[in-house]
């Protein structure tokens, strides 16, 4: 295998990976930095798909404390509070740098200030944006800056596994595959940053880009990294219903509901009046998504098993001006967002759980940094809209700074050549079989299994069934084969096998943690344990690889470093009081 030596290897080229590269380079331009991205730089990943914008405290009437408390409330108070505080306190610096250094210019008010719009779950309008196509602007400008620097980029190149040093004490790079040629090679590095994105594509209706299959998380798991709260998977309330089109499940951004768009069931009822009469459609994503799902499952959905999003009352001119990207997206399926209601459905969107990190993006494995959606702890049980790209930029910056310092301090440690060769041969197995399992059928099984057994509403029985079937699917994917055994170049069937192996790895952690958490909190809703239980479950669930690829699981109380338990109880008391006041006045058992 060819071997490339580097100071810093970055897997992933979304907002987190690109900002990490820029920061590392600007700290020390003589460092050799390598980026490997599964797609094309500036064109793939989920950061580019960000529509709504980024949360940041800029207005003197707002405060970091308010943003912090909104983040904790949204996260069901199981966030890593140190990470959440870092998120909100670093966000103003990140926005300033994005404009001044990177060249991302956000929309302005008439007085010249950056415009901030409303997003759900926030006590103040603090989301900065570029119309409803913020991600395209951010990633395009970051990519320009990458090209302006001496940073090596491998496009259409995927990470396969992390490599360990000969003494076994640290991560020293990764085994990679060039999708274009099929060649497998090594990047031996002082520091490795994993920022490849999440794994919501494990569900049959999902919003992420198609290259997001949990690669980074699976790679970190196999290397022995520790994970936190993997049961917490966010479903966005408004995924477009588009039949067999690839647009099915793609997002209609939250700013629509923030601006006043309404949700109706198939009977024409504004159903959020039943579930959150105070905030209605501006309730948090977990509650709106679950409410829509309940309406659909109760037979009150549309013919196509969705609900309606209606923005027409806001005025066609307003909608077309403020949400041009969404208008164009809906037009692609023959609908007019500005003038008629549109069918939407909950869609799997974001992974709150991930690799455990500290505020400098360091993990339990020396030499390995993780940032962006691969990392867990920042968002707790539910991420607020606008906090996602905030996370990517804040922790991408920090990962780059940390990597640069570590790369200057450390020597380049050699990797275990025998280990790398063993990994290479394992990934090449599908070419050695004349016949085997069909990977596309396995992928379909996973998507349906996770949607039905471990989706928006969960039970012990369904989760046990999911766990059992996933163990069988491990065996199936280990026996998958490719039709063209003599062509590795652009062999998408082979790459799909790698994708699915990684998907199963992440699915197992999600199901295992969901079985463990016997309560409902944030995005995790257990029908058999419908209440939030602060007495027993103000805890985080940790997992890592045990012997024979089994899962080791532990629970630890949430570290209340900033916001204390008595304050949490006060917040929950207010919620319960409001819920009871409303429940007494309605006759449905579906009130949350």
Tell me: do 344 and 436 sit in the same domain. Answer: no
- Helix/strand/coil (H, E, C) string of 499-554? HHHHHHHHHHHHHHHHHHCCCCECCECECCECCCCHHHHCEEEEEEECHHHCEEEE
3-class state of residue 176 by DSSP: strand
Q: How far apart are CA 405 and CA 423, in angstroms?
A: 30
221, 509 Cβ separation under 8 angstroms: yes
Stretch 90-111: mean pLDDT: 94
Encoding tokens for residue 238?
Answer: 């408004």
- Angle between helix axes 388-409 and 15-27 (nearest 10 degrees) is 40
Confirm whether 340 is domain-assigned. Answer: yes
Per-residue pLDDT tens digits for 360-378 = 999 999 999 999 999 999 9
State in Å, rounded, how far the first CA of the chain is from the last one.
Answer: 57
Instruction: Give the pLDDT of residue 575.
Output: 59
**Of 295, 329, 348, at which residue does a domain stop?**
348
Tell me: do 344 and 241 sit in the same domain. Answer: yes
Instruction: Give the pLDDT of residue 574.
Output: 63
Instruction: Give the pLDDT of residue 591.
Output: 28
CA distances from 444 to 204, 441, 461, 504 (A): 8, 5, 21, 12
Confirm whether 293 is domain-assigned. Answer: yes
Per-residue pLDDT at 246 exceeds 90 = no
Q: How far apart are CA 168 and CA 364, in angstroms?
A: 13
pLDDT level of residue 39 (50, 70, 90 thresholds): very high
Domain that holds residue 443: 430-536
Per-residue pLDDT tens digits for 287-325 = 899 899 999 988 999 999 899 999 999 999 999 998 888
Confirm whether 512 is domain-assigned. Answer: yes
Helix, strand, coil % over all residues of the chain, rounded to 5: 40, 20, 40
Tell me: do 532 and 437 sit in the same domain. Answer: yes
Confirm whether 190 is domain-assigned. Answer: no
**Of 314, 348, 382, at which residue does a domain stop?**
348
Instruction: Give the pLDDT of residue 526.
Output: 95
Tell me: do 244 and 343 sit in the same domain. Answer: yes
Listed as own residue / partner, the contacts of 564-570 with beta carbons closer than 8 Å and 24 or more positions apart are 565/538, 568/77, 568/534, 568/538, 569/534
> Which residues on neighbouring strands pair with residue 173, listed in sequence order?
188
Confirm whether 199 is domain-assigned. Answer: no
Stretch 541-566: mean pLDDT: 90
How many domains would you assign to the chain?
Answer: 2
**Of 497, 517, 536, at which residue does a domain stop?**
536
Q: H or E stretch including 556?
A: strand 551-557
Per-residue pLDDT at 585 exceeds 50 = no
Stretch 231-250: mean pLDDT: 88
Stretch among 35-49, 135-149, 194-208 having the lowest mean pLDDT: 35-49
pTM summary value: 0.91
Instruction: Give the pLDDT of residue 179.
Output: 96
Catalytic residue IDs: 236, 257
51, 134 Cβ separation under 8 angstroms: yes
Stretch 68-96: mean pLDDT: 96
Per-residue pLDDT at 584 exceeds 80 = no
Stretch 379-398: mean pLDDT: 94
Per-residue pLDDT tens digits for 343-361 = 999 999 999 999 999 999 9
Name the H helices within 151-231.
215-223
Task: Report the chain's mean pLDDT, rounded to a whole number.
Answer: 91
- Residue 551, Cβ density class (10 Å: 0-12 exposed, 13-18 middle, ≥19 buried): middle
Instruction: Give the pLDDT of residue 522.
Output: 92
Confirm whether 301 is domain-assigned. Answer: yes
Confirm whether 277 is domain-assigned. Answer: yes
Instruction: Give the pLDDT of residue 579.
Output: 47
Selected residue with higher pLDDT from 262 and 242: 262
The CATH number that applies at residue 514 is 1.20.58.100
The CATH number that applies at residue 333 is 3.90.700.10
3-class state of residue 434 by DSSP: coil
Q: How far apart are CA 87 and CA 81, in angstroms?
A: 10
Confirm whether 9 is domain-assigned. Answer: no
Instruction: Give the pLDDT of residue 286.
Output: 83
Encoding tokens for residue 87?
Answer: 């998120």
Per-residue pLDDT at 392 exceeds 90 = yes
Tell me: do 339 and 444 sit in the same domain. Answer: no
Stretch 74-85: mean pLDDT: 95
């Amino acid at each position: 295998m060819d071997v490339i030596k580097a100071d810093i290897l970055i897997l992933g080229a979304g907002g987190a990976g690109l900002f990490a590269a820029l920061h590392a380079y600007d700290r020390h331009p003589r460092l050799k930095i390598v980026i490997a991205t599964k797609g094309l730089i500036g064109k793939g990943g989920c950061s580019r798909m960000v529509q709504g914008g980024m949360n940041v405290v800029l207005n003197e009437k707002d405060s970091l404390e308010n943003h912090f408390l909104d983040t904790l409330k949204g996260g069901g108070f199981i966030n890593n509070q140190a990470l959440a505080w870092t998120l909100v306190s670093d966000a103003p610096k990140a926005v300033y740098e994005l404009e001044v250094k990177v060249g991302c210019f956000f929309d302005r008010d008439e007085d010249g200030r950056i415009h901030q719009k409303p997003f759900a779950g926030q006590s103040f309008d603090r989301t900065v944006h570029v119309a409803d196509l913020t991600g395209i602007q951010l990633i395009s400008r970051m990519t320009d800056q990458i090209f302006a620097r001496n940073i090596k980029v491998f496009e259409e190149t995927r990470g396969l596994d992390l490599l360990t040093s000969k003494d076994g004490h640290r991560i020293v790079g990764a085994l990679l595959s060039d999708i274009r040629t099929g060649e497998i090679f090594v990047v031996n590095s002082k520091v490795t940053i994993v920022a490849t994105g999440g794994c919501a594509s494990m569900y049959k209706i999902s919003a992420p880009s198609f290259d997001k299959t949990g690669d980074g998380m699976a790679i970190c798991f196999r290397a022995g990294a520790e994970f936190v709260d993997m049961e917490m998977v966010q479903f966005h309330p408004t995924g477009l219903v588009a039949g067999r089109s690839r647009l099915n499940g793609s997002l209609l951004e939250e700013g629509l509901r923030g601006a006043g768009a309404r949700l109706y069931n198939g009977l024409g009822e504004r159903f959020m009046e039943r579930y959150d009469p105070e905030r209605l459609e501006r309730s948090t994503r977990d509650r709106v998504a679950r409410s829509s799902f309940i309406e659909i499952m109760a037979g009150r959905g549309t013919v196509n098993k969705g609900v309606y999003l209606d923005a027409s009352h806001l005025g066609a001119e307003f909608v077309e001006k403020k949400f041009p990207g969404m208008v164009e997206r809906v037009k692609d399926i023959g609908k007019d967002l500005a003038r008629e209601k549109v069918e939407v459905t909950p869609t799997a969107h974001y992974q709150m759980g991930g690799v455990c990190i500290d505020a400098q993006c360091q993990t339990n494995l020396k030499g390995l940094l993780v940032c962006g959606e691969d990392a867990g702890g920042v968002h707790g049980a539910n991420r607020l809209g606008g906090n996602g790209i905030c996370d990517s930029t804040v922790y991408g910056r920090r990962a780059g700074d940390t990597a640069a310092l570590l790369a200057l301090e450390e020597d380049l440690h050699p990797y275990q050549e025998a280990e790398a060769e063993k990994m290479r041969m394992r990934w090449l197995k599908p070419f050695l079989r004349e016949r085997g399992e069909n990977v596309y059928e396995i992928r379909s099984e996973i998507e349906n299994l996770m949607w039905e057994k471990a989706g928006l509403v969960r039970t012990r029985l369904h989760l046990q069934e999911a766990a059992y079937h996933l163990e069988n699917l491990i065996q199936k994917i280990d026996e998958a084969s490719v039709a063209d055994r003599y062509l590795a170049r652009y062999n998408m069937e082979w790459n799909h096998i790698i994708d699915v192996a990684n998907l199963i790895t992440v699915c197992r952690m999600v199901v295992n943690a969901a079985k463990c958490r016997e309560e409902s909190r944030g995005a995790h809703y257990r029908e058999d344990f419908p209440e939030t239980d602060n007495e027993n479950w103000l805890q985080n669930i940790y997992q890592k690889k045990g012997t024979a690829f089994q899962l080791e699981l532990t629970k630890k109380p949430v570290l209340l470093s900033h916001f204390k338990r008595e304050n949490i109880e006060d917040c929950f008391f207010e919620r319960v009081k409001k819920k009871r006041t409303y429940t007494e006045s309605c006759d449905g058992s579906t009130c949350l």
